[in-house]
Amino acid sequence: MGGVSSGLEEEEIIGKCVHSFNIDRTIYIRIENIRKKLNSYLKYTS
């Protein structure tokens, strides 16, 4: 029984890590898109 529960716990931890990584990636992509828009906007105004 102990081996099964530890395996499930391990999977849960891995799942949480992957989930948080995906959130970080989407935030990073959003920031990059905003930065590109700002750069193109600044090029047009200057």
Structure tokens at 13: 């931890």
Q: How far, in Å, are 3, 6, 23, 36 from residue 11 at the CA level?
A: 12, 9, 18, 37
Residues 3-32 have pLDDT tens digits of 555 677 888 888 888 888 888 889 999 999
Q: What is the pLDDT of residue 1?
A: 46
Q: How far, in Å, are 2, 14, 23, 27, 38 from residue 33 at the CA level?
A: 47, 29, 15, 10, 9
Tell me the pTM.
0.52
| Interval 38-43 mean pLDDT | 90
Q: What is the pLDDT of residue 28?
A: 92
Report which of residues 11 and 36 the model is more confident about: 36
Report which of residues 2 and 23 the model is more confident about: 23
